[in-house]
Amino acid sequence: MVETGVRTMSSEEPNPDTKKEDWPRISVVTLTRDSENYISDLLDSLTHQSVEPYEVLVIDCNSKDRTPEIVKKYAEKYPYIRFYNIPGTRGYSRNAGAKLAKGDVIAFIDSDAIANALWIEELQKSFREGADVVAGREVRLGYAGWSGLKRVGIYHKGQDISYPSVNLAYRRELFEKIDGFDPWFKEAEEIDLNYRAVEAGAKIVYNPDAIVYHRARETFKGFFKQAFWYGFGRKELTLRHGSLWSEYDFIDMLKIGKNESIWKIIRLFVAFLGYMTCKFFKGSWELKRKWRESELSSR
């Protein structure tokens, strides 16, 4: 099914083959933008699961390549695949997909990823055992110097909240309760979401058997750009939630561990540039906005 914009879904079941024992029903949401080189791999992996997804919602952001055409062909073959063009920030577009979803659980995956054949089944197991949020294992593919780098963890109330949205699933009621992603964020919107979930009392469960294979950046430009925006996003978090330095493990941040390399220090340096860019530009803009709001409220 191909749609442009947000609409109200019909009462028709997205996947009528879903059985009662397949609870919870899992709606998969992925964002695309000029993803013609990757989207077929993702959709092939989602349509060959041990347990079929309840539905797959592809939210496009004004792709200029063949992405819409490719997804349309899959939608004709698999009625539970739906395509929408809803551009915006990643948080905005993911929220739009979540709003359209009809499942009990909303699972997010990136368009350049490939889901293991047991991904849906493993997510279901964790939710049946009482999880509110399930983060799966991300296996990175590509140049070992980059794919071997671990993410920089951040903890809140004893829980790791740095799990990325390449492999992240939420109970619908929790996602709606905390108002989904904050579209204000350019980066780190999933860390903010996890932070607010923990604040609301949610339990984040890591399931290493819910596996997603994810492509590492393929060029120097892509690697540096990704590191820069990671740092930018970490500063966005402090603008929203105050200082979070106490939530980091600095020894782990600086230590070059097994399967890592000097690229970890290079990534950290580039991320610091992104952090400072956000501090001086977006931070000053936020201060000006708050000052204007206080001036208006005092009139």
- Cα-atom radius of gyration of the chain, to the nearest Å? 19
Domain residues for the domain of 131 are 2-217
Counting every residue written for the chain, the total comes to 299
Distance of CA 110 to the CA centre of its chain: 7
Neighbours of 243 (CB within 10 A): 8
Are residues 104 and 171 in contact, defined by beta-carbon separation less than 8 angstroms?
yes
- Rounded CA separation 154/243 (Å): 12
Q: What is the pLDDT of residues 13-61, one digit of tens each?
A: 677 666 655 789 999 999 999 999 999 999 999 999 999 999 999 999 9
Asked whether residue 153 is assigned to any structural domain, the reply reads yes
Dist. CA 14–CA 26, nearest whole Å: 11
* Amino acid 85: pLDDT: 97
- The per-residue pLDDT of the chain, averaged, comes to 85
**Residue 191's closest CA among 142, 226, 234, 158?**
234
Q: Decide if 235 contacts 278 (C-beta within 8 A).
A: yes
For residue 17, is it within any domain?
yes
For residue 146, the model assigns a pLDDT of 62
Grouping H, G, I as helix, E, B as strand and the rest as coil, residue 258 is coil
Q: Which helix (H) or strand (E) holds 298?
A: helix 283-298
* 271 against 108, higher pLDDT: 108
Q: Is 253 left (phi over 0), alpha (psi -120 to 50) or beta?
A: alpha
Which DSSP state fits 71?
H
For residue 267, being part of any structural domain is answered with: no
Whether 67 is covered by a domain: the verdict is yes
Cα angle 141, 144, 149 (rounded to 5 degrees) comes to 90
What pLDDT, on a 0 to 100 scale, did the predictor assign at position 268? Answer: 85
Kindly state whether residue 189 falls inside one of the protein's structural domains: yes
Q: Which of 82, 97, 107, 99 is nearest to 24 (CA)?
A: 107
- The Cα–Cα gap between 115 and 29 comes to 13
Q: Report which of 70, 167, 181, 186 is spatially closest to residue 123, judged by C-alpha positions.
A: 167
- Indicate the range of 171-185, 219-233, 256-270 predicted with least confidence: 256-270
Read off the amino acid at residue 102: K
Residue 241 clears pLDDT 80, i.e. is over it: yes
Residue pair 39/13 in contact by the 8 Å Cβ criterion: no
pLDDT at residue 292, rounded to an integer: 42
pLDDT the model gives residue 299: 31
| Number of domains the chain contains | 1
The phi and psi torsions of 188 (rounded to 5 degrees) equal 60, 20
Task: Identify the CATH number of the domain in which residue 33 sits.
Answer: 3.90.550.10
From residue 72, alpha-carbon distances to 65, 67, 84, 166, 195 in Å are 13, 9, 10, 22, 36
244 inside domain? no
Residue 194 lies in a domain: yes
Is 174 a domain residue? Answer: yes
